[in-house]
Amino acid sequence: MPGKKKPTVKPKPAKSEKSKSAKAKKPSKKLKAGKGAEKSAKITRPENTKKETIINSEVVYTGPLFRVLRNELSDPAGHHAIRDVIRHNGSVVIIAVDSSKSKRDPLIVMEKQYRHAAGQYMWELPAGKLDPGEEALTGAQRELAEETGYHARKWKLLVEYYASPGFLGESMKIFVAEDLVAGVAHPEEDEQIEIRHVRLSEIMKAIDKGIIIDGKTLCGVQIFARRLRRKG
């Protein structure tokens, strides 16, 4: 009829690309063990049942700190190889702890000295080589007193490790020394050592920044810090 308006039909809103893609996506399936994801294996102490046999061994260098051996070997499968090995009496490393002001963030005795092999000054924990036949704890007590002048009433072995077992037969034992008593240092003539007491938190920051690059210090400090956190 004339005068009547036709009803307007509103268009339906178009679906957004986001909602379309959301519907299109399906929940991802978790990978099962053996089909793209492996279960974590347990690490146990290796059994030293299968060892290489030394056919011949020759000393090719002898110095004041170590010897170099050239060994001809045969493994259990019958393969032959030549290995040059550095033999060393072993070393000790000391984390000397002063927790009198803070048990959670104690002071650690640190040394700065020039290392010719690295060609630079380095921040390190006190350390040194063992004399032939010397017990590790005795050597650690001696080295701490010689280099820093400190004695400690409490000693505990933290960890033993090999820095580079592919060719270096040097065992390094890290001790924690507590309840410190100050004394007079007696470093060797060729040792120019600067002693500092540094908060554990500051040492960790220096490690994160790449300022501390000495292996024994990286290993010892971080293991010590982790165990200290466990104690709460």
Tens of each residue's pLDDT in the chain, 232 residues? 455 555 555 555 555 555 544 455 555 555 555 555 688 999 998 887 778 899 999 999 999 999 999 999 998 888 999 999 999 999 999 999 999 999 999 999 999 999 999 999 999 999 999 999 999 999 999 999 999 999 999 999 999 999 999 999 999 999 999 999 999 998 877 778 999 999 999 999 999 999 999 999 999 999 999 999 998 7
CA 150 to chain CA centroid, Å, is 25
In whole angstroms, give the CA distance from residue 128 to residue 172.
9
Single pTM value for the model: 0.80
- DSSP H helical ranges for 89-179: 136-148
Q: Domain limits of the chain? A: 53-87, 89-231
Contact at 8 Å (CB) between 133 and 139? no
Place of tokens 């004695």: 151
Write the Ramachandran bin of 89: left for phi over 0, alpha for psi from -120 to 50, otherwise beta.
alpha
Q: What is the three-class DSSP state of 180? A: strand
- Domain 89-231, CATH: 3.90.79.10
